[in-house]
Amino acid sequence: AQRVTQPEKLLSVFKGAPVELKCNYSYSGSPELFWYVQYSRQRLQLLLRHISRESIKGFTADLNKGETSFHLKKPFAQEEDSAMYYCALTPLGNNDMRFGAGTRLTVKP
């Protein structure tokens, strides 16, 4: 069965510093990977997905099949990036999306 691991529950950086939120997964087939974000008092929403290979709000994530990782990166963090971030995986053609436990990012002024 697929599993998603986010090793850091909490991550704190200063504004303007680079940030990397780690995500590792275990799945033997071809997965589709996502990052979801939940800002304070808002609902969970999609941030980006690996197949679109786009940058959203300055964030990027590259799927590394060799290391089974899908780390989320941003070169210069902003205070408004403070939120809860969840990495998620779904097998291609499947409906069962699995989420990691989440990382709370705090960007300090």
Partner 1 sequence: GAGVSQSPRYKVAKRGQDVALRCDPISGHVSLFWYQQALGQGPEFLTYFQNEAQLDKSGLPSDRFFAERPEGSVSTLKIQRTQQEDSAVYLCASRRQSDGELFFGEGSRLTVL
Nearest CB to partner 1, comparing residues 36 and 77: 36
- The residue among 52 and 66 lying less far from partner 1, judged by its C-beta, is 52
Which residue, 49 or 74, has its beta carbon nearer to partner 1?
A: 49
Which residues bind to partner 1, rule: CB under 8 A?
A: 4, 6, 9, 32, 36, 43-46, 49, 86, 88, 95-102
Report, in Å, the least distance between residue 67 CB and partner 1. Answer: 21
CB of 108 to partner 1, least distance (A): 22
Question: Between residues 15 and 24, which has the closer beta carbon with respect to partner 1?
Answer: 24
Measured from the CB of residue 99, what is the shortest distance to partner 1 in angstroms? 4
Give the contacts of 95 (CB within 8 A, at least 6 positions apart). none
| Minimum distance, C-beta of residue 43 to partner 1, in the bound complex (Å) | 5
As a three-state string, the secondary structure of the chain is CCEEECCCCEEEEECCCCEEECCEEECCCCEEEEEEEECCCCCCEEEEECCCCCCECCEEECCECCCCECCEEECCCCHHHCEEEEEEEEECCCCCCEECCCEEEEEEC
